[in-house]
C-alpha cells in the first residue's frame, strides 16, 4: 500500500510530536523516508517535523508549569548555567525532553521558550536533511 503525501505528512507530524515528549519515537527516520520519497517537498517536510516536534515540547513545557514543588535534576542545572539558551538543545536525547519541562517549572516565558525550542529543532532537522541529501 502506497502512502499519499498527506498521509505521510500526518505520520511525520505525529511522530515528531510524540518524539518530543517523554515517549520514545523516531521522527528522524520518518522525516528521511518522506524526503526520500518526495524530495521536492523538503521544505514542507522540514516545516511539519519542526512544528510537530516544537508542539510536543511545548506540551512538556505546560506539564512543567503544573509542578508546584521544587524539582531538581540535570535539566534544572542546565538552566542555572545557560539560561533560556539551554532550550536550543531540547532536541537532545534524554536531557532534551526534560528541558521544556524545566522551562515550564521555572516559569520561563512561553513565547521565549517557544522561539528557542523552535530554532533548535529547526536547525537539527535541517542539518539532518542536509546530511541526508549529501549522502543520497
**How do the domains of the chain map onto residue ranges?**
5-135
Instruction: Measure the CA angle with vertex 50, ends 48 and 53; round to 5°.
Output: 105
Task: State pTM to two decimals.
Answer: 0.89
58-85 per-position pLDDT tens digit: 999 999 999 876 666 777 787 778 889 9
CB 12 within 8 A of CB 30: yes
Range with lowest mean pLDDT among 1-5, 14-18, 66-70, 83-87? 66-70
Amino acid at each position: 500500500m502506497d502512502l499519499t503525501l498527506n498521509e505521510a505528512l500526518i505520520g511525520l507530524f505525529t511522530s515528531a510530536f510524540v518524539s518530543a515528549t517523554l515517549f520514545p519515537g523516531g521522527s528522524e527516520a520518518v522525516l528521511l523516508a518522506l524526503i526520500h520519497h518526495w524530495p521536492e517537498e523538503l521544505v514542507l517536510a522540514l516545516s511539519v517535523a519542526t512544528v510537530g516536534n516544537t508542539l510536543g515540547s511545548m506540551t512538556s513545557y505546560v506539564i512543567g508549569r503544573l509542578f508546584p514543588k521544587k524539582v531538581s535534576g540535570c535539566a534544572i542545572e542546565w538552566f542555572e548555567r545557560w539560561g533560556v539558551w539551554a532550550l536550543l538543545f531540547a532536541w537532545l536525547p534524554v536531557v532534551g525532553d526534560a528541558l521544556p519541562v524545566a522551562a515550564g517549572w521555572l516559569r520561563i516565558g512561553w513565547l521565549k521558550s517557544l522561539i528557542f525550542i523552535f530554532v533548535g529543532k529547526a536547525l537539527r532537522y535541517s542539518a539532518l536533511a542536509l546530511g541526508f541529501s549529501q549522502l543520497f
